[in-house]
Amino acid sequence: MKKVLRILKQIRNLNLGPNIEDAANESLHSKKLAIEAIEYVEAGAKSAAQPGVVINRIWAMPNRWTFKIKPIAEIVKRYVGSGVGWIDPFAGMNSPAEITNDLNPERQAIYHLHAKDFALFLGTEYNGVLFDPPYSLRQVRECYDEMGIALLSQEDTNLFPNNIKEIIAPKIREGGHALSFGWNTIGFGIGLGFKLKEILLVCHGGKHNDTIVTVEEKQVTTVNMFEGKLFNFANCFSER
Ligand SMILES: C[S@@+](CC[C@H](N)C(=O)[O-])C[C@H]1O[C@@H](n2cnc3c(N)ncnc32)[C@H](O)[C@@H]1O
């Protein structure tokens, strides 16, 4: 935007003078500048092109318990409401979801299972999922250390937490939501039937990583009669 402003100021300050030849040269120059500005804006629009995705950035104090961070508590409240029909496989201490789980028996959750066992045990047609696992292998180790679990399984080392997302994704109803928390915006992704809706970047300053909230909506799918495959309408329209 600064570049566009600079170009517009240059155009405004062009001296068209009384001489016709000078004026013609100057107006040609101003046209070139205008084209440069348009191309700059269009390139920016293309690079940000994710129609309908809302991206916000805000500063807030960090907190070990994600849902205690003020702007995160607000976005969670906005989507989860009373929590009815929501699931949370990594509930920690503050989950508003109706059906909560946390491996650590000292956390506030209904179930204390490994997230994979919890995901397998769940039914179907949930309104949404809060997905706030440990954000790195190091954090997984720290959680396990707290519980006195010495060894990480190969699955936890190599596939976690995507293996849990794969089990949960089909259990969320169409139009339901997935709110993922972490250091990236991978979320559940279109491959698991979710469309990106909103991103909240929470900057904590200092040496802290941002906490990123990724909000996605489960897409409407139907069975493709010819191949018996699940067919995603959203993909169909975006490919046109
Ligand atoms: C980032 S914290 C969740 C914080 C929570 N959202 C809050 O605001 O209170 C991650 C939680 O996942 C739990 N956890 C770690 N590994 C797990 C696993 N394999 N299965 C289930 N829970 C696990 C930890 O005990 C921890 O409470």
Instruction: Give the pLDDT confidence score for residue 4 in this predicted structure.
Output: 66
Our answer on whether the CB atom of 134 is closer than 6 Å to any ligand 1 atom is yes
pLDDT for position 39: 66
**Poorest-pLDDT segment among 45-49, 50-54, 165-169, 205-209:** 45-49
Q: Around 78, how many Cα atoms within 13 Å sit in the side-chain half-sphere?
A: 11
Nearest ligand 1 atom to alpha carbon 93: 9
Distance 85 CA to ligand 1 centre (A): 19
- Please state the rounded mean pLDDT for residues 24-40: 71
State the pLDDT at residue 239: 47
Name the token pair of 162: 């995507």
Of 56, 13, 50, 58, give the one whose Cα is nearest residue 33: 13
Ligand 1 center to 132 CA (angstroms):
7
Ligand 1 centroid – CA 178 distance (Å): 16
Pick from 1-5, 104-108, 209-213: least confident: 1-5
What's the mean per-residue pLDDT of the chain? 88
pLDDT at 41 over 80: no
Instruction: Report the separation in Å between the CA atom of 101 and the middle of ligand 1, taken as the mean of its atom positions.
Output: 8
Pairing assessment for the beta strands 172-182 and 99-100 based on DSSP bridges: unpaired
| Cα(232)–Cα(223) distance, integer angstroms | 9
Confidence band (pLDDT; 50, 70, 90) for 171?
very high
CA–centroid distance, residue 217 to ligand 1 (Å): 23
Identify the residue whose C-alpha is closest to ligand 1 atom 2. 92
What's the rounded mean pLDDT across residues 33-47? 64
The number of the ligand 1 atom at minimal distance from the alpha carbon of 147 is: 25
Q: List 184's β-bridge partners, or say none.
A: none
Residues, the chain, total?
Answer: 240
Residue 171, CB half-sphere, CA atoms under 13 Å: how many? Answer: 19
Which of 85-99, 124-138, 211-225 shows the lowest per-residue confidence on average (mean pLDDT)? Answer: 211-225
* Per-residue confidence band for 146, with pLDDT thresholds at 50, 70 and 90: very high
Q: How far is the CA of 105 from the centre of ligand 1 (A)?
A: 11
Considering the chain, what percentage of its residues have pLDDT values greater than 70?
A: 83
Cβ neighbours, 10 Å, residue 211: 22
**Ligand 1 pocket: which of 66, 79, 90, 158 to mutate (most atoms within 8 A of CB):** 90
Distance 230 CA to ligand 1 centre (A): 32
Whether 55 has a pLDDT exceeding 60, the answer reads: yes
- Residue to probe by mutation, ligand 1, list 103, 146, 183, most atoms within 8 Å of CB: 103
pLDDT grade for 44, boundaries at 50, 70 and 90: low
Looking from the CA of residue 146, the nearest atom of ligand 1 is 25
